[in-house]
Amino acid sequence: MSEVRFGILGCANIARKVARAIALAPNATLYAIASRSIQKAEKFAAENSLPASVRVYGSYDEVVEDSGVDAVYLPLPTSLHVRWAVTAASKKKHVLVEKPAALDVAELDRILEACESNGVQFMDGAMWLHHPRTAHMEHLLSDSNSNGIGTVHFIHSTSTMPTTQEFLENNIRVKPELDALGALGDLAWYCIGASLWAKGYKLPTTVTALPDTTRNAGGVTLSISASLQWDQPNKTVANIHCSFLSHTSMDLAICGSNGSINLKDFIIPYKETSAKFDFTFGAKFVDLHIGWNVRPEEVHVDNKLPQEALMVQEFARLVASIKDCGSQPSRNWPEISRKTQLVVDAVKKSLDLGCKPVVL
Amino acid sequence: MSEVRFGILGCANIARKVARAIALAPNATLYAIASRSIQKAEKFAAENSLPASVRVYGSYDEVVEDSGVDAVYLPLPTSLHVRWAVTAASKKKHVLVEKPAALDVAELDRILEACESNGVQFMDGAMWLHHPRTAHMEHLLSDSNSNGIGTVHFIHSTSTMPTTQEFLENNIRVKPELDALGALGDLAWYCIGASLWAKGYKLPTTVTALPDTTRNAGGVTLSISASLQWDQPNKTVANIHCSFLSHTSMDLAICGSNGSINLKDFIIPYKETSAKFDFTFGAKFVDLHIGWNVRPEEVHVDNKLPQEALMVQEFARLVASIKDCGSQPSRNWPEISRKTQLVVDAVKKSLDLGCKPVVL
């Protein structure tokens, strides 16, 4: 199969990471980059030592008009996703969009409809889903695995990072006109995604924002907690906490009927080449309850490519399959994004209702 | 100082652990045990190889009437705490009561008033507070420690254990007439206590039960989640999950402005002689966000005595100080119990109100 040629719209910090990931992925190549000014685009190309073959544009339009581009990656502010994703799809470009996918599910549906009607692949930029550690944990979440954690009862996840005063005043991610969701979009996308993933993408019954939310003067969420509840097939609760105001944490804990999984770096692993999680199975107290019969097992998972390159590789594999073999776009990734967005919307609605429960 | 002589009222399983702890504590001695029948008490003495010097009684009254007894330990069903704690206090016996301290704060206040008016020490049986690991973590929670986790923003804790069908049908802890609080008393006592401890025993502003509660036919809580919120001096959320229906977990995670603490065995350490927790400080992502600048530090804490013996030792120290030196009973332990009970009551109230927030 041919290498998939990527165009990047925008020179945000995250674009540096994904440009490198495209270079690392064996089935992808960076073909073009664009910023709103040619100077910024050239600076980005120079600073990241991009090969001379990469086309450097001073407008996003030039990328989506370039017939050499197969797929676009959009590291733009969320408010611009719908415009540029729909434009790119209409030009038959496959769309990899940074998370959060959109400001709300209505916008996301416009994107997904544009992708579907143009026969192009859609995927959001949640990289951790592509790490082999995630697949390894998923195996332990399977109901049919008698050596796994069994029926999931409880999920806990956090996505917090400390920011500077400068960030809190000026960063795109806290500007109401650019990223109105703030921490709910940028950070909760991961925790909501992880909760859905742990529940096999079954939507929760009820979503409730918790009253510790902090917003900035523009109304953008800087810190938020929420609780997701499932009634069927069994009662499950997933509590999430996301904040730009706290120390770095990326905790994920899942407790089921037979075991539990714990890790502290689920979104960005501590290091690139391997990752681990703790797996506890069949734990009981010893006689007199003075200790445990087992310790958590440290499960180590090596990865040849970093998770962002694995994401690009998976996306490019789907694109090449459509391009070269006439396959249909995968519905899996759009569905994951849409369910995540639905829960983001529900948390926002609950927040707007003064933390009342929202039934999905 | 003289050794403090303990009498144990009741031969529950936990009494075996505490009888051993009394034997291990250098300033305590087991003086008497009682069950409701002499046969059960004798069986308990034989099975636990108690010394022949231990007096074995067939009624609780005989223990509280015995002038040789300085202090009683009450491993009785919660519904019996108020009766026997008040009786013991009126006989000038110091009172160590298994958790939950009482069915509600009104009952606990009767116990605390009896203890205060009789000049005897009160303490509840939350053993983990006496582990040196807890003191070590407390040092990292101090606002004045610039190498600590800083201002606490988020607390997550669980107390879950799998039980058998037999337990769910017949155990004291799920019988409405004996332990009407169920998991909310037996398990949430720890998570609520840990949340208060992490917040320096400042009471939360609001307490909300989450809607995933499971009750048995008698209305006793088998599984419960709740969210505690503090508004002052900074917004903090503590989410707890407690269940008799899930795999064993005793997670505690505390995230602050500068660092975080994580452990998975906060209530009963994996082993008796040492314990550890993970401490992460000043974590940032490396360039390109492809990893972290630091890893969690594993902080190991040795303990010469198991935590339950340290609890007995601390209780006996206070008792001896009252007995031998005329000191006043410590107000610290009763206050911790009372605040914990207040929050238990608030969770119960929220639950009874259909998960409405309860303002404290």
pLDDT of residue B232: 86
Task: Give the closest residue to B75 by CA, choosing from B141, B162, B16.
Answer: B16
The phi, psi pair for B45, rounded to 5°, reads -60, -45
Average pLDDT in chain B: 96
Q: Distance (Å, rounded) from C-alpha B45 to C-alpha A80?
A: 75
Query: Which one is predicted more confidently, A2 or B230?
Result: B230
Identity of the residue in B153, B208, B290 whose CB atom sits nearest the CB atom of A243: B153
Domain A129-306+341-359, CATH class in plain words: alpha beta
pLDDT score at A1: 65
Which residues in chain A are closer than 8 Å to B285, comparing Cβ atoms?
161, 248, 268
- Whether residue B44 has pLDDT greater than 90: yes
Mutate to test the interface with B, among A160, A231, A237, A266 (most CBs of B within 10 A): A237
State the pLDDT at residue B1: 65
If phi > 0 it is left, if psi is from -120 to 50 it is alpha, else beta; for residue B207 that is beta
Chain A and chain B share a number of CB contacts under 8 A equal to 209
The identity of residue B196, as a single letter, is L
A247 vs B280: CB contact, 8 Å cut-off? yes
Q: According to the 3-state scheme, what is the secondary structure of A58-101?
A: CCHHHHHHCCCCCEEEECCCHHHHHHHHHHHHHCCCEEEECCCC
Chain A residues in contact with B249 by the CB 8 A cut-off are 154, 253, 255, 260, 280, 283
Of B194, B94, B112, the closest CA to residue B154 belongs to B194
Chain centroid, CA A284 distance in Å: 35
CATH no., domain B129-307+341-359: 3.30.360.10
Residues A315-325: tens digit of each pLDDT:
999 999 999 99
What is the per-residue pLDDT for A169?
Answer: 84
Residue A313's pLDDT is: 98
pLDDT value at position B311? 98
Each residue of B80-132: pLDDT tens digit? 999 999 999 999 999 999 999 999 999 999 999 999 999 999 999 999 999 99
Provide CB contacts within 8 A for A358, sequence distance 6+.
A206, A207, A208, A346, A347, A349, A350
Say if residue A232's pLDDT is above 90: no
The partner residues of B94 in beta bridges, in order of sequence, read: B71
Fold of B4-126: Rossmann fold (3.40.50)
Residue with tokens 């004798």: B42
Contact call for A306 and B289, based on CB within 8 A:
no
Amino acid, res. B11? C
Give CA–CA dist B101/B88, Å, rounded. Answer: 15
Q: Which of A85, A103, A82 is CA-nearest to residue A180?
A: A103
Of B245, B259, B265, the CB nearest to A247: B259
**Do A265 and B292 make contact, defined as CB atoms within 8 angstroms?**
yes
A242-263: per-residue pLDDT in tens? Answer: 999 999 999 999 999 999 999 9
Instruction: Output the CA–CA distances (angstroms, integers) from residue B20 to A62, A289, B186, in the order listed.
Output: 78, 12, 21
Instruction: Give per-residue pLDDT as tens, A59-98.
Output: 999 999 999 999 999 999 999 999 999 999 999 999 999 9
Q: What is the pLDDT of residue B282?
A: 96
Interface contact flag, A285 B268, Cβ < 8 Å: yes
Q: What pLDDT score does B180 carry?
A: 93
Which alpha helices (DSSP H) does chain B contain, by range? Answer: 13-24, 38-47, 60-65, 81-90, 105-117, 132-141, 165-170, 183-186, 188-198, 307-325, 332-352
Helix and strand numbers (H, E) in chain B are 11, 16
| Contact between A291 and B272 using a beta-carbon 8 Å cutoff | yes
Long-range contacts of B46-51 (CB under 8 A, 24+ apart): B47/B16, B48/B16, B48/B19, B48/B20, B50/B19
Q: What is the CATH number of domain A4-126+308-330?
A: 3.40.50.720
Q: Domain coordinates of chain A in residue numbers?
A: 4-126+308-330, 129-306+341-359
Note the helical H segments in chain A: 13-24, 38-47, 60-65, 81-90, 105-117, 132-141, 165-170, 183-186, 188-198, 307-325, 332-352
The residue in chain B having the minimum alpha-carbon distance to the alpha carbon of residue A149 is: B247
Minimal CA separation from B291 to chain A, in Å: 5
Give me chain A's average pLDDT, please: 96
Beta strand B152-162 with B236-243 is parallel
The fraction of chain B above a pLDDT of 90, given in percent, is 94
pLDDT at position A170 over 90? no
Torsion of CA B36, B42, B48, B52, to 10 degrees: 130
Q: Which of A149, A206, A284 sits opposite B211 (nearest CB)?
A: A206
Cα dist from A107 to A85, A200, A346, B285, whole Å: 10, 25, 15, 31
Residues of B within 8 A of A269 (CB-CB) are 291
